[in-house]
Amino acid sequence: MRSNAKIFFVLINFILFLGFLNTECLAENKNSIINLFCIENFKEQMLKAKIKYDQEIAKDTCDCYLNEFLKTNSHKKAVNKCKFETERKFNLQ
């Protein structure tokens, strides 16, 4: 009976460990998907505003957005803050 308890304990720990690894992988994938959508949206907004699209500006803005969104859990706050910072930093007014 004691060996069954050991096997059960090891099995549960293994499952929990795999779950932790899977969560980390999902978080990375989620962040890259958010970043992809951000860059596409940024590109669209730049073209609508008749401003030349710049990949460096898009990357900087989307990095800002992702960091702010993770901190505040607010899409609106992250967009407003990063839009303001990008306009100021890259003189886009």
User: What is the reported pTM?
Assistant: 0.66
Q: Answer for the pair 89, 61: CB distance below 8 angstroms, yes or no.
A: no
Report yes or no on 19 lying in a domain. Answer: no
**Structural domain harbouring 62:** 28-89
What pLDDT is attached to residue 28? 56
Give the residue among 47, 48, 37 at the shortest CA–CA distance from 75: 37
CA distance 86 to 63: 11
Instruction: Indicate whether 7 belongs to any domain.
Output: no
Chain Cα centroid distance, residue 5: 41
Query: Can you list the residues of the chain whose pLDDT is less than 50?
Result: 18, 21-23, 26-27
Give domain status of residue 71, yes or no.
yes
Q: Is 90 exposed, middle or buried (0-12, 13-18, 19+ CB in 10 A)?
A: middle
Domain count, the chain: 1
pLDDT at position 60: 92
**20 within domain boundaries:** no
